[in-house]
A = this chain, B = another copy of it.
Amino acid sequence: MSAVQTITLAGEMAMKRGSIFTPTLAYETWGELNAQRDNCILVFTGLSPSAHMCSSTLDPSTGWWEDMVGPAKPIDTSTYFVICINSLGSCFGSTGPASIDPQTQTHYRLRFPVLTVEDIACSAGHVLDHLGIDTVHTVVGASMGGMTALAFCLLHCDRARQLLSISSAARSLPFSIALRSLQREIIRKDPAWDNGNYDFSNHGPVTGMRLARKLGMITYRSGAEWAERFGRERATGFQHSDDSFGNDFEFEVESYLENHANRFIGSFDANCYLYLSRAMDLFDAADHGGSLDVSFSKLKLRTVLVIGVETDFLFPIQQQEELALALNKHVEQVEFKRLPSIQGHDSFLVDMDRFRPTVAAFF
């Protein structure tokens, strides 16, 4: 059973570069809103997760941040009322390119307006309105979710007291833009993408999505971790053959990528992936004032924790430091925590021994 709740806005929602009609926003909540309505933690996700961050009575399936969120966990649902929002533009209940446009009764596909991180942040304001919450205790986000959390604080200056930014950045730089741009092009160049008009029942550009996912996985981890984990181990069952370019992968790392990429197929809509990926490229917090300094001068946050990982090369540690330093000029209490995890960008999902105590200490 799903614990997903939805609200559908009346009329048009204006976006940064277009508008959509009566969008639906999907979210899950855990814990209880207190009488003062001031114990809300709002969590934005990375590119691909749904709002199902952790299990609950309604939906006991394991969530994507199960070890971090729950009763007596670092994000403690017995103390806080925790909301996780499925990003606008995604495909797990919120309106996105795979949704039906009520005005045409056909799927949006590429007619969905250009999506920005600001649009995702802005839409979250409607969820808070619906739940009767003026101000959240803390906005939390990792990766793209960190950008969205920051955008939320910039757009809704009065609605957040604390920010927890994990492995994110104040803006996308050309190295990560190039990697995401290539992932998108790999999908678009799959003939099955068909300019966005693929048949949903066939999962669309399966090959393009598999290859893009592999590239994603390579960039989410680190060379150091894989050297330790796989070394030059051969794939189980691999046998030398005269055909070096058949379907067999010789090394364990190749077979690992293959298995993981195959699991991704059918679980995410290709057009939604394109829109969310592009939204990350477009994000630059400096757009809100002309420079990071001017943008951040409007913030009314009291406390910020920026967590970064040394082996993350998609959101490198220098960018975490840049974000913390820029925030430090305008927010009273800014802490920058540099973690030596070896799992790269994905560390917040897997290196729980380091992330759990760091997040727990913040709350």
Q: State whether A254 touches B181 (Cβ < 8 A).
A: yes
Q: State whether B196 touches A230 (Cβ < 8 A).
A: no
Which residues of A (184-234) have their CB < 8 Å from a CB of B? 184-186, 188-189, 191, 196, 207, 211, 214-215, 218, 222-223, 226-227, 229-232
Q: Does A18 make an interface contact (CB < 8 A)?
A: yes
Cβ contacts under 8 Å, A173 to chain B: 223, 226-227, 231-232
Tell me, in angstroms, the Cα distance from A86 to B357 when the chains sit together: 55
User: Could you say which of A55-63, A238-246, A288-296 contacts chain B?
Assistant: A238-246
Q: Does A343 make an interface contact (CB < 8 A)?
A: no
Q: How far is the CB of A252 from chain B (nearest CB, A)?
A: 8
Q: State whether B242 touches A18 (Cβ < 8 A).
A: yes
Cβ contacts under 8 Å, A274 to chain B: 244-245
Cβ contacts under 8 Å, A250 to chain B: 281-282
Which residues of A (223-275) have their CB < 8 Å from a CB of B? 223, 226-227, 229-232, 240, 242-245, 249-254, 257, 274-275
Q: State whether B245 touches A110 (Cβ < 8 A).
A: yes
Pick the contact of A245: B196, B207, B240, B243 (CB < 8 A): B196
Tell me, in angstroms, the Cα distance from A346 to B342 when the chains sit together: 25
Tell me, in angstroms, the Cα distance from A242 to B186 when the chains sit together: 21
Interface size class of A (residues with CB under 8 A): 35 or more
Q: Does A11 make an interface contact (CB < 8 A)?
A: no
Tell me, in angstroms, the Cα distance from A294 to B5 when the chains sit together: 63
Tell me, in angstroms, the Cα distance from A231 to B286 when the chains sit together: 13
Q: Does A278 make an interface contact (CB < 8 A)?
A: yes
Q: How far is the CB of A51 from chain B (nearest CB, A)?
A: 25
**Which residues of A are at the interface with B, using a C-beta cutoff of 8 A?**
17-18, 110, 113-114, 171-179, 181-182, 184-186, 188-189, 191, 196, 207, 211, 214-215, 218, 222-223, 226-227, 229-232, 240, 242-245, 249-254, 257, 274-275, 278, 281-282, 284, 313, 316
Can you list 18 A-B contacts (CB < 8 A)? A18-B242, A171-B232, A172-B232, A173-B226, A174-B232, A174-B251, A175-B218, A175-B227, A175-B253, A177-B253, A178-B214, A178-B257, A181-B253, A182-B211, A186-B186, A186-B211, A223-B313, A223-B316
With A174-B232, A175-B226 given, name 7 new contacts (CB 8 A). Answer: A173-B223, A173-B232, A174-B231, A175-B227, A176-B223, A189-B207, A223-B313
